[in-house]
Amino acid sequence: MIATEVQARVPVASKLVRAHTYAAFVGLLLSALFGLAVSVKFHVPEFLTNHAALTWGRLRYDHTQGILYAWLGNAFIAFIYFAVPYLTRRPVTSERLGWVMFFVYNFVAVLGGWSLVLAGVLQPLEWAEFPLIVAAVIELCLALMIVQFCIPFLKCGASELYVSGWYLLGGLTFTFLAYPLGNIVPHELPGAMGAAFSGLWIHDAVGVFITPLAVAVEYFVITAVTRKPIYSHFYSMVGFWLLFLVYPLNGIHHYIYSSLPMAAQRVSEAASIYQGIDVILVVTNLLLSIGLATEGSVLRDVPMRFVWTSIVLYLIVSIQGSVQAVMTFNSFIHFTDWVIGHSHLAMIGFASFAAMGGLGHIWQQMPGVRHSRRAMAWSYWLLVIGLGLMVLDLTAAGLVQATLWQRHIPWIDSVRASRPYWIFRTIDGVVLLAGFVVFGLSFVTGPRNSEGFLGLTLDTKDELPRDHKAQYWFTTAYAATFGAGVVFFFLSFLALGVYPAFRLRESIHKTTPVGAQLTLTAAEQHGGHLYAVDGCAYCHSMQVRFTPADVWRFGTPTQAWETQQQYPQMWGTRRIGPDLAREAGKRPVDWQLVHLYDPRYIVPDSVMPSYPWLFNGAPDRPTQDARDLVAFLNTLGRAQAALTPPLPRATYLLPVAASANDTEEGRQVFVANCAGCHGEKADGRSIGGQSLRPVAFNLAEFKLSDDLIWRVLQTGVPGSSMPSWNDLPSSDFRAVADYVAMVAQAGELTPDQRYASDEVLMESGRRIFETHCTRCHGEEAAGDGPDGLEMLPRPANFHEMMPSYQAAAEILRDGVPGSGMPAWPLLTPAEVQAVTFYIRSFYSAHPDGTAQPAASASMKMEGMK
Amino acid sequence: MTAYILGAATLILLVLILWRRSSPEFRRRSEQPKFQILANLGLGSRSSSRTKQPPEDTQPITRREHDEKRES
């Protein structure tokens, strides 16, 4: 216990307040820089991309964990050190313990956590990304905080405890209970069962850690600045208990329309709405406390201005949260940037503004420190403007994304549409960062406060509280309600954690198909680890929801039994790229590898980071890590795919005719969607296209029938990287088909290029073809030879495609890497020309309008072997 | 189950509100902490040595003044 020379003095541990305040600023600036880097990567994907430590996923992890622990954690601890003596008329338990806690919290938990995450030691759990060892340290710190701050409360009369004290006690105690749920339990319970507990912690991190401490600051600063009692302490306590009853019940609303039991989803939906009602009560009480006491004049006090703004935004973000949890609206808005706007409004607008108000108020009282009111006022406006623009921007982006996801268009269209919003988000982020910097400067510039004693000076020793025994405290009415609060917590644990887990266990037992391939090989498990380490789950969700838009786009909804080997679950709460729950077999391995090496090689508008450290300098030289990662991707949905045929997909009718008017539109669609692999000239010579196996098709050197173009666009080419483009809007689909038909050409030979007459070329070509080609391409060159039936991709059917002489010569010289077509280096140029002439004769849409006649055996064979 | 939990919470809340309206003693005790914190901050009957004085346009208020104001 802190020694006091004068018995009636209760000091604030001001050095610890200062230390945690400075640590909070460092944490805030670094976390904001992490966030800004993450934001820049959305529109400059190659920014900081050459090192694994600086990849998007890891910076994103450090951004959110830094805001939670480095910034808000330190800021609230500083406030608690300041507030506890005023709330309890007692000092905190031990200043020495405080310093131990400060070093462990900041240098082991925060710095250690950040470093380990950048080094790839982490867990892919939302708001719980620091690795387990760091989670254990944080849990230890939470225990130490209870010892440091709660013992003074135990020794003071509970009946006199101000509402801020209740929020501090509740926040610390409940966080200590909730923290292991999100950090440890998901490692023990797989997939859907683990998701139920993860959902609890996602919301408890905000609901029972951040929110109570922020509201504690608000109640404290209001009464200290107005110098008047709050409007109603009774209603403040009603709000307190409702918060702890209802908030933990919200958790599963992050997984609505998932395979979690519907009853649990309904609980979370109803609790979220009730939570909004509670917040209306709390905010009304807070605003009445300000308004009634001062008629608004206290807003000249800058910290109070921060607190007032925090209260207003608390109301807005809570109502927004309640609306988001309504299932019909959730089906529309979930996974979009709307939710990111919501979380920034909560963590900056509500929590950070409250913390800033609290720290600003403390600094006004702190002896001997500099304090600039003007800088703080500037920071307020910078932050309000930056936050306002960011939330509006992300909300609009979310609405755009949600609307596009409902439409039957390629996923990448939503990425393209989001780009302006993401650029604007970075600009907003710079404004916010400037606001944070100026706020920090306001603590080290300006006039210096006078020296003096910070704390309580009681008139007599008799005013010091008596050392009530713990038993006495526990028999008070407040103690009973505190016990009830703990019961509330376990209620949520049972309702949204244990109950769904038991229901899921039963469901999984009944529904798991016999022989379902769920276990992963060691390589696949390693790939899953890499997937987690680089934050893939934070852009690609891994759950197809039971919504029409999801089912249309991704296929069969994710069933609980499919997830029983996911340790921990990586369902995700955001989609920047498409969902990957049905990724198995959707893309060839070489496509995945090229896409990992540099996504823009084959998807020019992709914002996905590159992963060059998984390769030895080229996409066709992957390391074992890259192979393992792709192997893992091909396990996602594998068991389901083996059991159920793919859902029928929409088909388009054949085009009536190519239209010249569509050429430009078709070219634009081609460049946007096809040029990544086929090249802008459609010659298949892009870097990405040449890295694929088989290499991208040279459209510019083949004449293709309309039927073939249409069919390939609809169904893709099995065994190659060519996907179905069925999700293109029908107008785009038609335009690109027409464009391909236009660019696909296979010119004729000029007379001086010919080695022989048509008859000779035909006969010679026939004999070569029958000798070397029919086993795969078939006697009629329809791609149906006996050896070709098992090949993927299937051998070419020359009735619907006609190569140019140049293209055929290249293929015969080099083969088609990645397909069954070998090189035929021993054929002479004349033989190549002959066999090309022959196979061109089968093209049903030949320029002459008819198939060429079969060659006769009597034709001469000049120049041939 | 949701209905039971939230319904029970609402019922308890209504009982407490009605009890508070009918019982001056309950009302006094439930509001006591907001005066205690003022005293602890040196803004009520007890003194404090917080290094900076609060804004001039706000004056400390006693519980009696507060009650009188609320009654009026």
Q: Same structural domain for residues A755 and A739? A: no
Q: Same structural domain for residues A406 and A467? A: yes
Q: State whether B58 and A226 contact (CB < 8 Å).
A: yes
Give the separation between CA A488 and CA A241, rounded to whole angstroms.
9
Q: Which residue, A695, A725, A743, sits at the end of a domain?
A: A743
CA nearest A595: which of A721, A695, A684, A683? A721
Q: State whether B58 and A164 contact (CB < 8 Å).
A: no
Q: Same structural domain for residues A410 and A450? A: yes
Q: Same structural domain for residues A207 and A323? A: yes
For residue A767, give the 3-state DSSP assignment: helix
pLDDT of residue A480: 65
CATH number for the domain harbouring residue A811: 1.10.760.10
CATH number for the domain harbouring residue A258: 1.20.210.10
Q: State whether A298 and B58 contact (CB < 8 Å).
A: yes
Residue A482 lies in a domain: yes
Contacts of B52 in chain A (CB under 8 A): 364-365, 449-450
Residue A763 lies in a domain: yes
Contacts of B57 in chain A (CB under 8 A): 294, 297-298
pLDDT of residue B47: 37
Residue A222 lies in a domain: yes
pLDDT of residue A184: 82
Between A184 and B51, name the one with better pLDDT.
Answer: A184
Residue A848 lies in a domain: no
Find the residue in B nearest to A294 (Cα).
B58
Give the separation between CA A704 and CA A712, rounded to whole angstroms.
11
Q: Are A367 and A450 in contact (CB under 8 A)?
A: yes
pLDDT tops 90 at residue A656: no
For residue A418, give the 3-state DSSP assignment: helix
Q: Report residue A714 as tokens.
A: 């609809």
Find the residue in A nearest to B65 (Cα).
A228
* H or E element, residue A455: strand A455-457
Q: Same structural domain for residues A145 and A251? A: yes
From the list B5, B33, B58, the residue facing A233 with the nearest CB is B33
CA angle B41, B46, B51 (to 5 degrees): 45
Establish, for the pair of chains A and B, how many residue pairs have beta carbons separated by less than 8 Å: 135
Contacts of A301 in chain B (CB under 8 A): 55
Q: Same structural domain for residues A465 and A547? A: no
Contacts of A456 in chain B (CB under 8 A): 40, 42, 46, 48-49
* H or E element, residue A741: helix A730-743
Q: Are A666 and A739 in contact (CB under 8 A)?
A: yes
Q: Same structural domain for residues A738 and A756? A: no
pLDDT of residue A2: 42
Q: Same structural domain for residues A721 and A804? A: no
Our count of domains for chain A comes to 4
Q: Same structural domain for residues A382 and A531? A: no
Q: Same structural domain for residues A615 and A673? A: no
pLDDT tops 80 at residue B53: no
Interface with A, mutate which of B30, B48, B51 (most A CBs under 10 A):
B51
What integer is the mean pLDDT of A563-567?
84
Strand A455-457 to A702-704 pairing: unpaired
Contacts of B7 in chain A (CB under 8 A): none
Q: Which residue, A585, A613, A643, sits at the end of a domain?
A: A643
What integer is the mean pLDDT of A14-31?
97
Contacts of A234 in chain B (CB under 8 A): 16, 20, 27, 30-31
Residue A816 lies in a domain: yes
pLDDT of residue A260: 87
ipTM over 0.85: no
Q: For residue range A175-214, what is the model confidence (pLDDT) as tens digits? A: 998 888 878 888 888 888 888 888 888 888 888 899 999 9
Residue A3 lies in a domain: no
Q: State whether B31 and A234 contact (CB < 8 Å).
A: yes
Residue A727 lies in a domain: yes
Contacts of B33 in chain A (CB under 8 A): 159-163, 233
Q: Report residue A582 as tokens.
A: 């049905």
Which pLDDT band, with edges at 50, 70 and 90, does A508 fall under? confident
Between A116 and A815, name the one with better pLDDT.
Answer: A116
What is the percent of chain A where pLDDT is above 90? Answer: 49
Residue A846 lies in a domain: no
Find the residue in A nearest to B42 (Cα).
A456
Q: State whether B54 and A495 contact (CB < 8 Å).
A: no
pLDDT tops 90 at residue A631: yes
B11 burial via Cβ count (<10 Å: 0-12, 13-18, 19+): exposed
Q: Which domain holds residue A836?
A: 751-840
Q: Are A75 and A361 in contact (CB under 8 A)?
A: no
Distance of residue A457 Cα from the nearest chain B Cα, in angstroms: 5
Between A11 and A32, name the one with better pLDDT.
Answer: A32
pLDDT of residue A737: 86
Find the residue in B nearest to A464 (Cα).
B40
Q: Which residue, A591, A610, A643, sits at the end of a domain?
A: A643
Q: State whether A162 and B66 contact (CB < 8 Å).
A: no
Q: For residue range B14-36, what is the model confidence (pLDDT) as tens digits? A: 888 888 888 888 888 888 889 98
pLDDT tops 60 at residue A3: no
What integer is the mean pLDDT of A651-662?
50
Beta bridge partners of residue A455, listed in sequence order: A11
Q: Are A536 and A57 in contact (CB under 8 A)?
A: yes
Backbone angles phi, psi at A392, to 5 degrees: -60, -40
Backbone angles phi, psi at A538, to 5 degrees: -90, -5
From the list B2, B31, B47, the residue facing A233 with the nearest CB is B31
Q: Same structural domain for residues A176 and A241? A: yes
Q: For residue range A710-722, what is the model confidence (pLDDT) as tens digits? A: 888 888 888 888 8
What integer is the mean pLDDT of A672-686?
86
Q: Same structural domain for residues A77 and A128? A: yes
Q: State whether B5 and A455 contact (CB < 8 Å).
A: no
pLDDT averaged over every residue in chain A: 87
Give the separation between CA A62 and CA A65, rounded to whole angstroms.
5
